[in-house]
């Protein structure tokens, strides 16, 4: 046998032996294949008010909480084999969920997450379910709140956006848009009932509530509003006063549309007759002032 033939023979023999070892011991490198199950989509979305009402068109009141659940379909699977040589499928999805009020203001930070799992042959019809919830602020306005869902299929390089609508019945507030004091009301207790004018027994406490709107909000979503009040008798003589009786200093992700303030007053040895309460408010961030007056009566 010539020298060249011997070289070819031994090279061929070595390659055959190598292939035999790879096949025998599972050393052959495997390139994963991608199994595409269709078009990525959000399916069977439902809202839940946690009181037994489940609907894709749910309406809740401001101040209440709502949940949401949906499923993902049409995602891709990366096919491979486990250590025993059985087929398995890797799923890798990411998602984010945002909600805004009707004016486009985000209600809470973005919720994000991942779905990473391995499936077997018995999981052919499996689909992941995503759950999410939100509490609507008490001062949030009425309207339709868009919930934007973004899904990315990392394996199939697919992405989809889906918008669901949550309906909210909010607090009614007629505001001019300027800094102002609205809806001054009285009650005999902090539980009400509340009325714009009230007749009290002499010596009984007088509870007052009102709303402030139109104040400025800092870039950090901070609100600072100081409020003074004074009581005047029928001759406009000051009977009692309280500077900075209420100071609202808050910071939150979603700035309140209005501030609800409460306080109570007790007059010492008052005379029966008509009285007037004067409220002065100062928006410290917007450097604006607002005033309001309302009347109550003490019976003999």
Which of the four pLDDT bands, split at 50, 70 and 90, describes residue 30? low
DSSP state of 3: H
Q: What is the pTM of this model?
A: 0.79
- State the average pLDDT for the chain: 88
Give the chain's end-to-end CA distance (angstroms, integer). Answer: 134
Q: What is the pLDDT of residue 202?
A: 85
The domain spans of the chain are 28-169, 180-299
> Is pLDDT at 176 greater than 90 in this prediction?
no
**28-169 against 180-299: fold identical:** yes
Give the mean pLDDT of 246-273: 91
Other C-beta atoms within 10 Å of 278: how many?
16
What is the CATH number that goes with domain 28-169?
Answer: 2.60.40.3880
Tokens 């390089």 belong to residue: 157
Strand ranges inside the chain, DSSP E: 33-36, 41-48, 54-55, 59-61, 65-73, 76-81, 87-99, 111-119, 129-135, 143-153, 158-169, 180-187, 199-201, 206-213, 222-232, 238-251, 258-265, 273-283, 288-299
Q: What is the pLDDT of residue 138?
A: 93
Give the mean pLDDT of 182-189: 95
Three-state DSSP state, 4: helix
Paired tokens of 6:
């011997």
* Among candidate residues 245, 253, 300, the one with its CA nearest the CA of residue 277: 245
Express each pLDDT in 98-125 by its tens digit: 999 999 999 999 999 999 999 988 888 8
Give the mean pLDDT of 126-151: 96
Which of the four pLDDT bands, split at 50, 70 and 90, describes residue 17? very low
Fold of 180-299: Immunoglobulin-like (2.60.40)
């Amino acid at each position: 046998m010539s020298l060249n033939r011997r070289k070819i023979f031994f090279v061929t023999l070595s390659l055959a032996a190598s292939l035999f070892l790879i096949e025998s011991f599972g050393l052959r490198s495997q390139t994963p294949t991608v199994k595409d199950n269709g078009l990525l989509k959000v399916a069977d979305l439902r809202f839940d008010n946690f009181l037994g009402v489940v609907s894709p068109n749910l309406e809740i009141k401001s101040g209440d909480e709502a949940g949401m659940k949906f499923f993902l379909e049409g995602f891709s699977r990366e096919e491979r084999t486990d250590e025993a040589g059985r087929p398995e499928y890797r799923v890798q999805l990411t998602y984010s969920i945002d909600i805004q009020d009707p004016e486009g203001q985000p209600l809470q930070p973005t919720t994000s997450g991942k779905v990473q799992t391995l499936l077997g042959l018995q999981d052919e019809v499996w689909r992941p379910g995503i759950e999410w919830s939100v509490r609507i602020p008490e001062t949030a306005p009425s309207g339709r709140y868009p919930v934007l869902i973004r899904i990315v299929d990392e394996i199939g390089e697919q992405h989809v956006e889906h918008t669901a609508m949550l309906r909210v019945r909010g607090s009614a507030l007629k505001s001019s848009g300027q800094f102002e004091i609205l809806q001054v009301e009285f009650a005999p207790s902090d539980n009400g009932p509340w009325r714009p004018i009230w007749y009290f027994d002499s010596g009984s406490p007088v509870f007052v509530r009102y709303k402030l709107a139109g104040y400025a909000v800092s870039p950090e979503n901070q609100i600072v509003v100081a409020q003074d009040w004074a009581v005047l008798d029928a001759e406009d003589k000051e009977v009692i006063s309280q500077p900075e009786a209420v100071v609202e200093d808050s910071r939150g992700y979603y700035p309140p549309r209005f501030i609800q303030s409460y306080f109570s007053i007790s007059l010492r040895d008052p005379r029966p007759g008509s009285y007037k309460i004067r409220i002065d408010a100062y928006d410290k961030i917007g450097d604006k002032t607002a005033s309001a007056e309302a009347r109550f009566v003490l019976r003999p």
